[in-house]
Copies of this chain bind each other. A is one copy, B any other.
Amino acid sequence: MKFSCSKKDFTEALQVVSKAASNKQQMPILSGIYLKADNYSLELQATDYELGFIVKIQANVESPGQIVLSGRFLQEVVRKLPTEQVIFSFDKEENIAHIQSGQANFTLLSMNASEFPIIHHFEGDLEFAMENDVLQDLVKKTVFSCSTDETRPVFTGCYMEVDNDTITMAATNTHRLSVKSITLDLPIGAIKIIIPAKSLNELLHIMNPDNPTTVHITCSHNRISFSFDNIYMTSRLIEGAFPDYKKVIPNDFSTKVTVDTDLFSAAIDRVSLISRSNEYNIIRLSFTQGQIHISSNNPDIGKAEETVPASVEGPDVNIAFNAKYVTDVFKNIQTNECVLYLQQSLRPMSVRENNNDTFLYVVTPVRTAH
């Protein structure tokens, strides 16, 4: 096995695949990165069985072959090489990889390539494609609502429902719910799956929205893959039935509030400084004619209150929330104004982008003493 390639390409590919390399002591092979040189290309793979990456880069392959090396050291060594040209060779008898760049020479002990669980592209029940900025929006607006409590796995992922030409993604931790939908140009079939939040967060990290590209998605009942540019990412799915989230979406409201997103978001952020160290992190919202009054109270620290101008249509409402559940959503609202729908102090509040009904956020209030 011998090839040469660009340091920049090699470094970028290692950055992507290493996100799936595991540090679990029980399975040392999963901390490795699999390299396969063949036909003018170098393929890199890493997987922790949940998540897997295949990245291909151009390479001048003198003799083909495959090897598994410690992900951590390979990544650090390649990133620090002194020149753009990397010459890589593997001496099978010595079981040692040689990496040369300029005056620098590294040898790295190899792992047993036959133990590595090689990832294969899989055939799915459903295949479709979308632009990366559309996919990013779909994921970003929902994944933050997932639970991190591993004892209830279905809530640690985003539910994706494909129905003809509509894709809906939903996520909830049972206290708040995000739902975002998009419409495709063509009907593509139907499927209902739950994708782990961890995998979707890694997808967000490696997608660059400044570089427009098309993402090809393949789903089966237990796997999903995302393929774009030189990257193939595959993730297992979460088994189980996602609850009927539509039940918790309020279907009527008495008070509709339109407010400047940034003003409201900054005020909540400030007021919650005081509640944050409190166990329940509670902020109170009071909607009255022309304004929202936001307040928090922490007996050990002090109080905070602020008033934000808003268009309030309907009766006054006094309501309290976990501050985090209210601040989180505004980081993902892209319109200058947002709209809040309320009914009573113990009924959920809905949040929407102004003039855009493809995104919905529902948050349950907290019951407070006064």
Interface residues of A (CB under 8 A from B): 70, 73, 76-77, 80-82, 96-97, 103-109, 266-267, 269-271, 273-274, 300-308
Contacts and interface: CB of A to CB of B under 8 A. Distances in A.
A270 B303 contact: no
Contacts of A106: 273-274, 302-304
A106 B273 CA distance: 10
B109 A301 contact: yes
B273 A76 contact: yes
B73 A105 contact: no
Nearest to A266: B82
A276 to B, nearest CB: 9
A300 B80 contact: no
Contacts of A302: 73, 96-97, 106-109
B270 A80 contact: yes
Nearest to A273: B76
A73 B103 contact: no
B105 A306 contact: yes
A103 B307 contact: yes
Instruction: Tell which of A82, A104, A303 has the most Cβ of chain B within 10 Å.
Output: A104
Nearest to A272: B80
A81 to B, nearest CB: 7
Contact of A304 (B104, B269, B300, B306): B104
B301 A81 contact: no
Given A77-B273, A273-B77, A104 B300 contact: no
Contacts of A97: 302
B107 A303 contact: yes
A335 to B, nearest CB: 21
